Amino acid sequence: MTGAPAAWAARLWRGVVWYLRELSGEARYDHYVERMRREHPDRTPLGEREFLRERERHEREHPNTSCCC
């Protein structure tokens, strides 16, 4: 039964990595590619670098002006 703790630890580690990627925003490009393939299979998704530039440009042009205070 030595495999059970190792499998548990591996599953835990994958969960931690997933959570940190979601929290940091690193997974946004992966989500974008998945959505493009699902909703626009005839179009080629942007490269990661171009996606990040476009996202940064959009955030500059559309600042989040809502405030909780």
Which phi-psi region, left, alpha or beta, contains residue 25 (left: φ > 0; alpha: ψ -120 to 50)? Answer: left
**In tens digits, what is the pLDDT along the chain, a chain of 69 residues?**
567 999 999 999 999 999 999 999 889 999 999 999 999 999 999 999 999 999 999 989 888 766 665
Give pLDDT, residue 59. Answer: 86
pLDDT of residue 50: 97
CA distances from 28 to 3, 40, 43, 49, 56 (A): 33, 17, 18, 12, 12
Task: Give me the pLDDT at residue 36, please.
Answer: 96
pTM over 0.85: no
Residue 30 CA to residue 62 CA, distance in Å, equals: 22
